[in-house]
Amino acid sequence: MKIQLIGFGNIGQGFARVLLGKAGYLKKRHGLDVKVVSISDITGTAVDKNGIDLRRALSVMQKTRKIINYPGAKKLSGLEAIEAIDADVVIEATPSSIETGEPGLSHMLAAMKNKKHVVTSNKGPLALKFKKLKETSKKNNVMFRFEASVGGAMPIINLANEMLSGDEIYAIEGILNGTTNYILSRMTKEESSFDIVLREVQELGIAEADPSYDIDGVDTASKLVILANAIMGIDATYKDVKIQGIRKITPEAIKLAKEDGYVIKLIGEVKNGNLEVAPRLVPVNHPLNVEGILNVALLRADIAGDITIVGKGAGAIETNSAILSDLISIWRNARS
C-alpha cells in the first residue's frame, strides 16, 4: 500500500515512528506492506517511489524541522504532491483550522478526485464540510476514514458504525477535550481558581499559549459536529453548535457540586438534532466522570442501551492507533 503523508508535525512524525516499530506486525498479522512514497510539509516534499527512509526523515526533522532537507526532496507543495505522485492512500495530518478548513480541505478533496483513499486526523475540514467530503469520496469511489479526528486513540466513530451496526444511536454525550478535562480535574482536586490552574497547565505545556481553542469549547464543538455527522447522519456544521466554555467556572461552584456528589465537566452533547457544548454536572459515579487528560464518549443506543468508551484523547503516538486501524480497514476493504 503506497501512502502519501501530508503534514509532518507531531501526528505525522508519530506515524513514521509507529510505522518503524510496527512494520513487521502489520505484515505478519494483516499481510499489509506499507510504503510511504512521499512526505510533504510547508517547505516541500520528500519523494521516493521505493519507500522513504523514515528514520532518516525523522532525523532530518529533528535537526532542521524542514522536510526539504531530506535528500532529493522537491519544491512540491502538498497539493502538488497529491496531484503528481502515484499512491493508494493520502494521510492528511496538517494543522487544523476551524475558520477555513484549509489547507486540509483542499488536500482531501484533491486526493479523492485523484482516486486516492483518505485517512485524516484533521478536524477543521470535517467540522465545516463533512457532507461535501463524504459525497466527494462516494462519487470517486474511495474510502474516507477519520477516526483520529475525534478523541485521539478512543475509537468512537468506528465503534458506533461497525460494532453497534444493528443499533440506532439516538444521542451522544462526551468529554472530547483533554486539556479542559485536565484543568477541571485540577480545579476540583486543588480547589484553585480557573486562572491559577490555567497558568500552571500552560507552564506544563498541556494548554496552548492561546488556550481559547480548548477552554472556550471550539475544539469540543468541532469534534461534536463530526460525531453528529458520522454516527447519527445529521447534516450539521460548526456554526450549528451552541457553545459555552469553562472560563466562568468558579471554585465555589465546583465545591458545591462536590458536596452534592457531582463533578463539573465540559460536555458535548447531540440530542434531538441539537448540538451543544457546555459545563455540566456529572454524578461522581457516572461513567462520564473520567479524570485528567482522558476523553470519554457515551453512546445511547436503542438495543444495547448506554455504551461508554474511554481513552487518551491526544498524543502523537496514541492518535496513530486510530490512523493505523483506519489504514488496515481500507486495506481489508480494498482487497475484498
Catalytic positions: 223
| Cα 71 to Cα 48: distance, rounded to the nearest angstrom | 10
What is residue 96's DSSP assignment? P
Q: Pick the binder of a copy of itself from 90, 94, 321, 330 (CB under 8 A).
A: 321
Selected from 50, 63, 75, 166, the binder of a copy of itself by CB under 8 A is 166
CB of 74 to a copy of itself, least distance (A): 30
303 near a copy of itself, judged by CB under 8 A: yes
Q: Which of residues 1-30 bind a copy of itself (CB under 8 A)?
A: 18, 22, 25-26, 29-30
Nearer to a copy of itself by C-beta: 274 or 308?
308
Please give the Cα distance from 170 to 217 (Å, whole number).
Answer: 23
Q: Is 291 one of the binding residues for a copy of itself (CB under 8 A)?
A: yes
Nearer to a copy of itself, 9 or 287 (CB): 287
Q: Is position 217 an interface residue for a copy of itself (rule: CB under 8 A)?
A: no
Measured from the CB atom, the residue of 80 and 167 that comes closer to a copy of itself is 167
Mark out the alpha helices in the chain (DSSP H runs): 10-30, 54-64, 78-84, 104-113, 123-139, 156-158, 178-190, 194-203, 212-215, 218-232, 251-259, 319-335
- Grid cell digits, residue 7: 503534514
CB 53 within 8 A of CB 23: no
Rounded distance between C-alpha atoms, residue 113 and residue 120, angstroms: 16
Closest CB to a copy of itself among 132 and 300?
Answer: 300
Size of the site for a copy of itself (CB under 8 A): 50
For residue 223, give the nearest of 309, 147, 317 by alpha carbon. 147
Amino acid at 97: S
Using CB under 8 A as the binding rule, whether residue 192 contacts a copy of itself is answered as no
Cβ-contact 85, 38 below 8 angstroms: yes
* Closer residue to a copy of itself in complex, CB, 14/268: 14
Candidates 119, 105, 82; CA nearest to 324 is 119
The region of 116-124, 158-166, 175-183, 201-209 touching a copy of itself under the rule CB under 8 A is: 158-166
Residues that bind a copy of itself (CB under 8 A): 18, 22, 25-26, 29-30, 147, 153-155, 158-159, 162-168, 284-285, 287, 289-291, 294, 301, 303-312, 315, 317-318, 320-322, 324-325, 327-329, 333, 336
